[in-house]
Copies of this chain bind each other. A is one copy, B any other.
């Protein structure tokens, strides 16, 4: 710890996870920014969950994918009074769907601003995983920033969990800049994804660092997502589209800064991109996976701006082995910048996000199954999609081995309305919706994106709605959810 805690006067704050956890009182608000297993103060939360059981409940605020060591254990300990922000853990998801405590799914880029404006009360303790504390007492985070800086500067107390598994050479990868609260906000002086406008540490008043603990749990990143044929087809359609846009002079030769998530489709897209003739590509995204490293290694990436890294075990090893080189390309930022509408619009983002289902008019459901069950949070997708130069939605045309059509007459929950969507891509093809009126969009989506098994059903719905109901965006309300109701009844959307 002496090597990691370089502010010697803070060494007396080094304590056990149990001691640190005992600072938490019933009803407190805690803030964390995590990047799943790595970049999460998991040793602290393991201790807290043990102490909390039957004794206290907290409000937790977070903008990242929270690992089982936090959400799983805290849910098991019944230790959430209220949970704000992003999630990825299955136990948390089930608890939210059973409404065992209120889950407030919030936009990742907005939550820290809202916390700062006081609408949710104060933050009592911020928990930060760190690689080091500098001589001046500032915090050098690990492989994610997300909303950690916002909570760290706001919280009454800060607890730092030093993770010795992350090499100290991570220092310098971060760029911490937190915009002022309105109405005192200034223009954010970032123009290109690779720009650095802040500090390489979180500038917390060291007096507020209440405890420092050492991480004793192994980092446990996920395996690399396996690719599949549908993802490859989607990636192929997309690359072809971009090439054509460049040929038509509607995109620059090196494209525009790209945003995508993690998983099979983004990885397949990164693989296609690595093989393509595009170079000097910039990324301005909330997170990225191993595909990002692939693109650096392939000499394709000019700069990758992100709020967190979501790498596989193998990916982190690659990163750590060659940190000085990767640091020349990667900038880790607070999520209030990564997901910031001002910056998304300024850099001219090409946003690529997934969905559970899209409807014939282009509305997207990315969070709720059958309109009711939440499966993932909204994240930063809405801020990317509304403000992008080009907003692309990527999904397979079917799910559950064809029993579900992901193109439906009407989505059962709208996260991204028609006005936030330019292009839809499935393995069947690509629908460029720009400049099309609703019925034109519907015909294009059905023709290009729907699975052949469902095309006749979708066309039938559309034409019947046009003829029987009419209007600018014709719908038959009594049949709008017929696909979903059939699935609920028979286990398949097919008649």
Query: Do residues A372 and B435 form an inter-chain contact, with CB atoms below 8 A?
Result: no
A399 adjacent to chain B (CB < 8 Å): no
Known contacts A185-B345, A437-B103, A472-B368; is-contact A417 B419 (Cβ 8 Å): no
Q: Say if the beta carbon of A400 comes within 8 Å of chain B.
A: no
* Minimal beta-carbon separation of A405 from chain B (angstroms): 15
**Nearest CB in chain B: distance from A123 CB, A:** 14
Contact B346 A470 (CB under 8 A): no
Q: In the complex, are the beta carbons of B484 and A481 less than 8 A apart?
A: no
Find residues 314-370 in chain A having any chain B CB closer than 8 Å to their own CB: 341-342, 345-349, 363, 368, 370
Instruction: For A389, list chain B residues within 8 Å (CB).
Output: 117, 182
Task: Kindly state whether residue A439 has any CB partner on chain B within 8 Å.
Answer: yes
Query: Taking the complex as formed, is A118 at the interface, i.e. its CB lies under 8 A from any CB of chain B?
Result: yes
- A419-434 at interface with B (beta carbon < 8 Å): 419-420, 434
Which single residue of chain B is at the shortest CB-CB distance from A481?
B477
Chain B residues whose CB sits within 8 angstroms of the CB of A373 once the complex forms: 470-472
Please name the residue on chain B nearest to A434 by beta carbon: B119
User: Number of copies of this chain in the oligomer?
Assistant: 2
Q: Is A291 at the interface (CB under 8 A from chain B)?
A: no
Q: Which of A248-262 contact B (CB under 8 A)?
A: 249-250, 252, 256-257
Interface: A412 (CB within 8 A): yes
Interface pair A374/B472, CB less than 8 Å apart: yes
A48 to chain B, nearest CB (A): 22
Q: Report A424 CB to chain B, min CB distance, Å.
A: 16
Given contacts A118-B249, A346-B182, A363-B414, contact A374 B440 (CB under 8 A): no
Check A98 against B470 for contact (C-beta < 8 Å): yes
Contact A470 B97, beta carbon cutoff 8 Å: yes
Bound: A437/B106 CA distance, A: 10
Asked whether A298 is an interface residue with its Cβ less than 8 Å from the other chain, the reply is no
Chain A residues 469-491 with CB under 8 Å of chain B are 469-475, 477-478, 480-481, 484-485, 488
Q: Roughly how many angstroms separate A203 CA and B413 CA in the complex, as a whole number?
A: 45
What residues on B are CB-neighbors of A474 within 8 Å? 372
Contact status B346-A187, CB under 8 Å = yes
Question: Roughly how many angstroms separate A349 CA and B107 CA in the complex, as a whole number?
Answer: 18
Distance A354 CA – B44 CA, assembled complex (angstroms)? 46
* A410 contact set on B, CB distance < 8 A: 371
Chain B residue numbers with a CB within 8 Å of A342 are: 187, 341-342, 345-346
User: Does chain B have a CB within 8 A of A378?
Assistant: yes
Interface of A, secondary structure class, is loop
**In contact, B348 and A182 (Cβ under 8 angstroms):** yes
Q: Is A495 an interface residue (CB 8 A)?
A: no
Q: Which of A103, A107, A348 has the most CB of B within 10 A?
A: A348
Q: A370–B106 contact, CB under 8 A?
A: no
Residue of A250, A436, A471, A484 ringed by the most chain B CB atoms within 10 A: A471
CB-nearest residue of chain B relative to A183? B348
User: A121 to nearest B CB, angstroms?
Assistant: 9
Cα–Cα distance between A465 and B371 once the two chains are bound (Å): 11
**A297 proximal to B (CB < 8 A):** no
Separation of A114 and B96 alpha carbons in the complex (Å):
39
Chain B residue contacts of A106, Cβ below 8 A: 419
Task: Tell yes or no: A415 within 8 A of B by CB.
Answer: yes
Q: How far is the CA of A290 from the CA of B473 in the complex (A)?
A: 34
**Would A382 and B386 count as touching, CB distance under 8 A?**
yes
Q: Which residues of B contact A104 (CB under 8 A)?
A: 435-437
Alpha-carbon distance between A8 and B103 when the two chains are bound, in angstroms:
67
Distance in angstroms between the alpha carbons of A342 and B192 in the assembled complex: 16
Within 8 A of B (CB), among A95-134: 96-99, 102-107, 114, 117-120
Minimum CB distance partner of A440 in chain B: B102
With A103-B437, A437-B104 in contact, do A412 and B477 touch (Cβ < 8 Å)? yes
The answer to whether A250 touches B119, judged by C-beta atoms less than 8 angstroms apart, is yes
A185 touches B346 (CB 8 A): yes
Q: Is B477 a contact partner of A256 (Cβ separation < 8 A)? A: no
Closest chain-B Cβ to A347's Cβ sits at a distance in Å of 6
**A-B pairs, 10 with minimum CB distance:** A182-B348, A372-B471, A187-B187, A102-B437, A414-B414, A374-B472, A342-B342, A341-B341, A371-B475, A477-B481
Instruction: List 4 other contacts, CB 8 Å, given A104-B436, A182-B346.
Output: A187-B346, A342-B342, A372-B475, A478-B481
